[in-house]
Amino acid sequence: MLRYYLELALLSLRRSKVLTALMVVAIAFGVGASMTTLTVLHVLSGDPLPEKSSTLYYPQLDPRTEDGFPPGDDPPDQLTRLDAETLLAEGRADRQALMTGGQAAVLPDPEGPGGAIEPFYASVRYTSTDFFPMFDVPFSAGRPWDASEDEAGGRVAVISKELNDKLFAGEDSAGRALRIDDTEFRIVGVLDRWRPAPRFYDLTTSHFTEAEEIYLPYSTSRDLEMTRAGSMDCFDTRPPGQTETDLGAPCTWIQFWVEISSPDDAASYLAFLENYSEEQRQAGRFERPVNVRLPALMDWLEENEVVPSDVQLQTWLALAFFAVCLINTIGLLLAKFLRRAPEIGVRRALGASRRAVFSQCLVESGVIGIAGGCLGLALTLLGLWAVRQQPVEYAELAQLDLAMLIATLVAAIVSSLLAGLLPAWRACQIAPAMQLKSH
């Protein structure tokens, strides 16, 4: 029976080519516009570490002075150097990593595999060794540095795949020397392609930029007084001679993450933070009442509203446009089915049930949806290509994955079936006697 309905639907659509084309185009443009924006929203709002996000937490403390204290105020987004290093040394979580960003001058070997390359600046992440296993950072060669190299301020480095391709023509560079800021480092590992979206581990700057090119031990960066970059908030006057990045400076500028395997352990860690904060308050270092938080990864992303507001607005506008397209499709289907009232009346007089007429009309709507979905998929790919040409940090991420490809086709078919419900119901209500009498 379905095959028969399909044959009738194709015959009917061929008889009204212009009307059919209008409906297919309406569905296609609605699907193309909405799925383009939904794909971008899907990419930007996704879970960057779906297998581990529930075990990653971002501790927050409030070391600020009591001046201007508003009750209920959230703690700062970052930690002071003293607090971050203390929490790292305590080691109360399964894994923990402190970090900050920076830039450093790279002086390539002119006789290296990459050829003669002028010195350039590269983005750097100063962190501790747990950064790599905690965030499931993939390696193509070598390994992370170990805890002993962290403690000793080792002159070791991990570099990105892109930097390895640039400097060493893609060869395994583990064990080779790399000169950074006039200091020679030994490369211990090379990352595989890695670009978490968003760049969740540091939301103080751009949310969707590429991951860093070089990773160095945090302790080494402080020993060498390497340049840092990123957000910093100093909440009190520093003593003479003290810099912003000194150990006791009243400035928050370090991100700190912990991995905790169970909710009970997370509750224990939160209690530890509260006790630590109270100890610091009693020692006179913290002035405000205990104010700590321990949001999980996805909660932290939601609080920071990482999805750009313009993307959200574009999504709502595209969905509204899709709704307008569906309304137009409903009108066109209604006109098409009612124009066939004599034909439907004859079918009903010859014994066709209302259910049969209704089913046939829905199959016709579904065929329109399939055609509109295929054209809509092409428009979605075109729309995503246009997004990738824009000068925005997330442009490269606008790619259609399998899930969104299937969603595009399903959206087109389902929307066309929904659009066909009212016209199909009106068509099956046609009284055969009236049609036969008028003809």
Task: Give the chain's domain count.
Answer: 2
Residue 435: predicted pLDDT: 46
239 and 128 within one domain: yes
Choose the weakest-confidence range: 5-14, 156-165, 170-179, 325-334.
5-14
73 and 123 within one domain: yes
Read off the pLDDT of residues 196-207 as tens digits, 9 standing for 90 and up.
988 999 998 878
281 and 389 within one domain: no
- Average pLDDT of the chain is 86
117 and 10 within one domain: no
Residue 246 or 326, more confident: 246
285 and 173 within one domain: yes
- In this prediction the pTM is 0.80
163 and 64 within one domain: yes
159 and 39 within one domain: no
Q: What are phi and psi of 67, to 5 degrees?
A: -60, 125
Mean pLDDT of 361-374: 82
293 and 325 within one domain: no
Choose the weakest-confidence range: 50-64, 230-244, 264-278.
230-244
Mean pLDDT of 274-301: 94
- Give the highest mean pLDDT range of 295-309, 328-342, 412-426: 295-309
Which of 272, 303, 334 marks a domain boundary? 303
Which of 273, 303, 333 marks a domain boundary? 303
256 and 169 within one domain: yes
CA dist., res. 188 & res. 183, Å (int): 16
Q: Is 192 helix (H, G, I), strand (E, B) or coil?
A: coil
* Structural domain containing residue 71: 53-303
Mean pLDDT of 255-284: 96
30 and 68 within one domain: no
Which of 303, 337, 360 marks a domain boundary? 303
- Cβ neighbours for 174, distance < 8 A, ≥ 6 positions apart: 141, 142, 143, 187, 188, 189, 190
In the block, tokens 């295929």 appear at 374
89 and 25 within one domain: no
CA dist., res. 412 & res. 382, Å (int): 17
Q: Is 32 helix (H, G, I), strand (E, B) or coil?
A: helix
Torsion angle, alpha carbons of 24, 29, 34, 35, to 10:
70
Read off the pLDDT of residues 349-359 as tens digits, 9 standing for 90 and up.
555 666 776 77
387 and 357 within one domain: yes
